[in-house]
Amino acid sequence: MARRLLLLNGLAALGAVLYHATGWGYTSLFWWTDRYRPVVVPNFDQMGGASYYALRALEQLATASVPAFLFVSGFFMVFASGRSQRIEWPMVAGRLKMLVPPFVVWSVLILAGRALEGRVFTADVYLEQIVFGQVAPPFYYVPALIQLYLLSPFFVWALKRRAGLLLIGAAVVQGAVMVARYPVLLGWDAPWATWIWNHAPAWFFPHLVFWFVLGAYAGFKGVAFTSALQRWRPALPWIAAALFLAAIAEWELLLRASHREWLAATSTLLDGVFSGALVLAFLAVLHDHVPARRQFEVVGERSFGLYLVHAPVLELCARAIYHGSPAVLGHQAIFLTLLLLVGAGVPLVLMAAVNRSRVRPVYNYLFG
């Protein structure tokens, strides 16, 4: 199981790059259209075209990346506890030491880059952006993961006593946050949903808690969890495929029902069910069909560094294409391929270069 999860971690890291690359793809379709066509932006006349649905399919597939990360994190937290299956605070502190320094370093570097562009803020705004993971879109994940690590001793204690109850409780909490998003997205007057929306921001753990708890449960149960996966082995890929199509259709229906031209990407309840099905299908079946496994496992070992660095790299790459070769923006296949190659390649090359250089002692402070 541990080898499968390392492989899953590598694929999830590349999936995160893909997810945020599709965001730049939408930007090029609708907000940068005037760079390659004589139109006024935003321009949504490519909505519903082949490029749009290709981006939607890739985005939908990549929505499972963060759930996969959290499942792996929960599993390895229990796995690292050994036979005692008890998480001590020094273990939690060790995890945080691997997360916090590189997270702060890259947050500061990105903010410094923005200051050079003239985007300067007060000290309290800088502090808020760093603490709550607002410096870059993917960074919300780190404060949420820190909270889950701090809660992990309680989770493991509860798994030993009432595993089913903890799983149900985590599912209810996360499900409530997801359900509350529907009325807000649709513009309905639902005070309860607005309250949950306002009190469960991206950096707060409730909307991600089930994935971490499920991973910890898998690590706690071990053979029993693997056996259950095998019983569902024939059906899981088909379930994941059906949910994939259903989730794409759901978002299109939400967009139309909202009567807006565009909705910012937001994970829905159906997205969550699809993500869970895909992760379980991968562990049961799909891991056998991944070529170049060792290369993806290497990426899995470097997943946190890749996750942190890919966001500013993608932004710089997209902006360079916007200014230097705007015609590329009108060809999504080329644009997205460039973003993926640069967004994944540059961080991995940078990590390899630092690891082999004289500054190797600071590697963990930069990439975890």
Residue 298, token pair as written in the block: 């290497």
Structure tokens at 42: 């935003």
Q: How far apart are CA 276 and CA 310, in angstroms?
A: 24
**CB-hemisphere CA count at 13 Å for 266?**
24
Residue 332 CB neighbour total at 10 angstroms = 22
Q: Which residues contact 33 (CB under 8 A, 6 or more apart)?
A: 39, 41, 42, 43, 46
Q: Which residues contact 168 (CB under 8 A, 6 or more apart)?
A: none
Q: Tally Cβ neighbours within 10 Å of residue 160.
A: 11
Contacts of residue 3, defined as CB under 8 A and 6 or more positions apart, other chains included, come to: 297
Question: Which residue has 């998480």 as its token pair?
Answer: 87
Token pair listed for 191: 């005070």
Half-sphere exposure of 182 (CA within 13 A, CB side): 11
Instruction: Locate 80 and state its tokens.
Output: 């690292």
Q: Say what the pLDDT of residue 52 is.
A: 96
For the chain, give the longest Cα–Cα distance.
66
Phi then psi for 207, rounded to 5 degrees?
A: -80, 0
pLDDT at residue 348, as a whole number: 97
19 in Cβ contact with 344 (< 8 Å)? no
Q: Under a CB-based contact definition with an 8 Å cutoff, are residues 71 and 215 in contact?
A: yes
Q: Which residues of the chain have pLDDT under 70?
A: none
pTM confidence score: 0.94
Contacts of 237 (CB under 8 A, 6+ apart): 281, 285, 286
CA 344-146-266 angle, to 5 degrees, is 60
What sign has the CA pseudo-torsion 139, 142, 145, 151?
A: negative
Q: How far apart are CA 86 and CA 155, in angstroms?
A: 10
Q: Report the alpha-carbon distance of residue 336 to residue 157 in Å, rounded.
A: 45
**What is the per-residue pLDDT across 115-149, written as a single tens digit (0 to 9) for each?**
998 898 998 999 999 999 999 999 999 999 999 99
User: How many angstroms separate the CA atoms of 127 and 147, rounded?
Assistant: 18
Give CA–CA dist 139/173, Å, rounded.
22
Residue with tokens 């946050």: 177
pLDDT for 28 equals 97
Tell me if 148 sits within 8 A of 73, measured CB to CB: yes
* pLDDT at residue 45, as a whole number: 94
Residue written as token pair 């290497």: 298
Q: What is the DSSP string of 324-348?
A: H-GGGGG-HHHHHHHHHHHHHHHHH
Angstrom distances, CA of residue 237 to CA of 228, 229, 233, 276, 349 = 15, 12, 8, 11, 34
Domain ranges of the chain: 2-367
pLDDT of residue 81: 78
Q: What is the dihedral sign for C-alpha 183, 188, 194, 197?
A: positive
